[in-house]
Chain A
């Protein structure tokens, strides 16, 4: 899965696009892990380009959040589409992963 990425002063912003479902979630996981670096001070996943995520995709986000939590690297997601926000709320993911409305808010507040 193709990910756009932007690194600035230790802030790693990763921007996936499209659908995340059971047919590409393994690929999504691999791409996300490859986008991380030991030099990251914090990681922001900009979900603005994702309009569909199923439990297979949530599993990948959980693994990513646990991986970054293990190294105490601040992690947040931002810019959730309404459909993705609904899935986050129902699954309780908005209580275990920090969610910001916009990328600017995430950049300003994630520490």
Chain B
């Protein structure tokens, strides 16, 4: 099975909810569990929020692109912006590291994407933009049981 979806929307915070719900709706054909849906929504929300806040500095006028691909039981999600790009990707991915503490950012965006998806790749060129590529296999039992 193969299925692809692309969308483009304005980089404004009102679209964050729309983006995560749209991706969650697209993946519904794989019959994900509620937990898997929450995982995907959180990860997409983080990536889109990063594009808006960091990619475009919260300034309106930019666009965020999302491309989703379902291949067998794996969801691929790409979140792209043509904004600032990231100078030091390794540093940006460190837990609790943030360049915008004044905006109450927690520095947990990338760690949450890593925690809730199976694979995370960040491609970025300073001044040109950032693409976040995430993958998640749907319908497999997590190999680490929840501690609770």
Q: Tell me whether A and B are bound partners.
A: no
Binding site for A on B (CB under 8 A): none
